Amino acid sequence: MTGVLQAVDCVQVPVPDLERGLAFYRDELGHELIWRTGTAAGLRLPGAGTELVLTTERDGLEVDFLVDDVGRAVAGVVAAGGSVRVEPFDIPVGRVAVVADPFGNDLTILDLSKGRYVTGPDGTVTGVA
């Protein structure tokens, strides 16, 4: 049987300032920049397909799980006894929802149904493919 949660897509880490976050995680700790926008930056975690995402838009640490299809995953979680905290919504690369397990733990789930970020030479996001 295949599980609903396919992989950890990213761990989002809140930072007060993106440049300060990049100075620490990229420049000091050595994580390679994959992509960036005005409020977030994705860094490579070696040995995994998981990204470390620095963001100025969140207050707490967040783990995002990759699923094949957000709508089907939400339905599966609810059928298994979980609940919906945030209904599915679109993002540039796909769809996201926040569900909760029966124990009250929030699970952010996303699919990449629209593709992945395309970036310029400096890592700035230029589109989705």
* Bridge partners, residue 62, by sequence: 12
Q: How high is the pLDDT of residue 24?
A: 97
pTM of the model: 0.86
Tokens of 103: 């124990």
In whole angstroms, give the CA distance from residue 26 to residue 45: 11
Report the CATH fold assignment for 7-116: 2,3-Dihydroxybiphenyl 1,2-Dioxygenase; domain 1 (3.10.180)
Q: What is the pLDDT of residues 56-102, one digit of tens each?
A: 998 889 999 999 999 999 999 999 999 999 999 999 999 999 999 99
The predicted pLDDT at position 48 comes to 81
Helix or strand run (H / E) with residue 112: none
Tell which residue, 45, 47, 23, 69, has the closest CA to residue 12.
Answer: 45
pLDDT digits (tens, 9 = 90+) for 11-20: 999 999 999 9
Name the helix (H) or strand (E) containing 1. none
Q: 128: which residues sit within 8 A by CB, 6+ positions away?
A: 92, 93, 114, 115, 116, 117, 118
Give the number of other CB atoms < 10 A from CB of residue 77.
22
The ranges assigned to domains in the chain are 7-116
Q: What is the pLDDT of residue 67?
A: 96
In this prediction, residue 42 has a pLDDT band, given cuts at 50, 70 and 90, of: very high
